[in-house]
Amino acid sequence: MGFTTVGLALGATAANAAYVGAAAYGVAATAVGTAISATGQIQAGKSQSEWSDYNAAVARQNAIAAQQSAEYDAGRTREAGEKLKSRQRVLYAKSGVSLEGTPTDVILGTAEDIEMDAMAIIRRGLIGGQQYQSQANLSEMQGSAAQTASYYGAGSSLLTGIGDMVAMKGGVYKVPVYTADR
């Protein structure tokens, strides 16, 4: 074996070492990138789930507030109605009208109208509360779905990364090897 052949053999070894080193860095970079991607997807899902939980809690508080506000407004309507009925009685009494027959029917009609108004206010509060409760439930479902999707995404990233690393190491991405024959 001559000097040139030894030189080629040493040069080939250095080239092979460089390609093998580059392939090792490629596998390592793929592994790190895969881990970061999977972790990022899980964190994004967790963050989305936490925001959804927060939004659900706010919606539940709004549901309670809507119902409490309706109950308060209904109470105010009833109080105003009682004042109106008292005024009616006073006016009937001042004008010398007996509270029998038609005046009593008018006062009873007023009482019915007031109660119907109060019940309508409470009904609107209940419907508003139910809408907020539905928003809370939907928000929780979206958070759960985001969390689940993040796990699937992370799993997919891991499998893709492992597949890429196996392909690099297994020879799908062949590293050219130089020998002294070339």
The per-residue pLDDT for range 58-75, each reduced to its tens digit, is 999 999 999 999 999 999
Residue 80: is its pLDDT beyond 70? Answer: yes
Tell whether 181 is covered by a domain. Answer: no
Is the pTM higher than 0.75? The answer reads no
Burial class (CB in 10 A: 0-12, 13-18, 19+), 92: middle
Res 7 pLDDT > 50: no
Asked if residue 180 is part of any domain, the answer here is no
Task: Compute the distance between CA of residue 123 and CA of residue 69 in angstroms, rounded to an integer.
Answer: 11
Query: Nearest CA to 89 among 78, 74, 81?
Result: 81
Query: How many structural domains does the chain have?
Result: 1
Residue 116 in domain: yes
134 in a structural domain: yes
Lowest mean pLDDT among 24-38, 121-135, 145-159: 24-38
d(CA 105, CA 97): 13
With respect to residue 179, please indicate whether it lies within any of the assigned structural domains: no
Interval 31-51: pLDDT, tens: 888 888 888 888 988 889 999
Residue ranges making up the domain that contains 23: 3-170
What confidence category does residue 160 fall into, taking pLDDT thresholds of 50, 70 and 90?
A: confident
Q: Say how far apart CA 164 and CA 41 lie, in whole Å.
A: 19
Does residue 40 lie within any of the structural domains? yes
Residue 140, in any domain of the structure: yes
pLDDT at 164: 80
More confident residue, 171 or 111: 111
What percent of the chain stands above pLDDT 90? 47
* Per-residue pLDDT at 172: 53
Mean pLDDT, rounded, for 125-134: 96
Q: Report, as an integer, the average pLDDT of 171-180.
A: 54
What does the pLDDT read at residue 4?
45
Q: Residue 45: its pLDDT value, please?
A: 87
Residue 177 lies in a domain: no
**pLDDT attached to residue 6:** 43
